Amino acid sequence: MLKLSKALKMPCRSWSLQALDTCPGSRDKSGELVPACSGCYATDGNYRFKNVKSPRLHNREDWKRAHWVDDMVAELDNDRYFRWFDSGDVYDVRLAKKIFEVCERTPWVSHWIPTRMHKFAKFKPVLSELEALPNVVVRLSSDSITGETIRGATTSTITTLDNVPENAQICEAYTREGKCKACRACWDKTVQVIAYIGHGRSMLKQQRNADIIAAA
């Protein structure tokens, strides 16, 4: 059974997994969480509740079903925008290949896939295939909370208003009660860099600890 979700911020539905447990790209070579993941919003707030965790845990096994791709294609019949992973990541190459099938068979849907799996060589071919689809944006997530980006890639970074990269488009959700509203920049291939302003208790704590913002 498919279990999609819709975050309050999002203008569309999403398919997600449990944060960190399915995010091998969230850790550096020493095994420590990278700065952006140390303050992960998907480990805080509503994401802590059982009814929010449950579908994400369910999805970790559900995608392995033989008819999962067919079911997803049918489910997206009336969708125009879709986000993969408002929490979690495409941790398994077999899952990535299935997501490719879904995206390829739903050309009427604009798909956005944020990921850190580009760090692993075995994922690069399928991520490239996904990015080549005209209806898919694979947006590589920077590990930074100070505005550093991944050069040459369609990417996103976390930063502060005082340190936005010159070529970045600021996510304006922070000015819109935390919601996307009419903005669809994350789904736009022509927008190379999205800069998210740090928010949430965990992230703001990380930025204060790094002396990026003043202590409260």
Could you report the per-residue pLDDT of 83-99, keeping only the tens digit for each?
999 999 999 999 999 99
Q: What HEC string does 158-194 produce? A: EECHHHCCCCEEECHHHHCCCCCCCCCHHHCCCCCEE
Q: At CB < 8 A and 24+ separation, what contacts does 170-175 make?
A: 170/194, 170/195, 170/197, 171/195, 171/196, 171/197, 173/9, 174/199
97-117 tens-digit pLDDT: 999 999 999 999 999 999 999
**Mean pLDDT across 173-188:** 92
The answer to pTM > 0.85 is yes
Q: Which residue has the tokens 């000015």?
A: 175
- Nearest Cα neighbor of 34 from 125, 131, 122, 148 is 148
% of the chain residues with pLDDT over 90: 73
pLDDT averaged over every residue in the chain: 91
In this prediction, residue 206 carries a pLDDT of 66
In this prediction, residue 136 carries a pLDDT of 98
**Spans of all domains in the chain:** 13-209
Contact 145, 210 (CB under 8 A): yes
14-48 tens-digit pLDDT: 999 999 999 999 999 999 999 999 878 777 777 88
Distance CA 167, CA 153 (A): 12
For the chain, the C-alpha Rg in angstroms (whole number) is: 17
In this prediction, residue 109 carries a pLDDT of 98
Beta bridge partners of 113: 138
- Nearest Cα neighbor of 187 from 140, 129, 138, 132 is 138
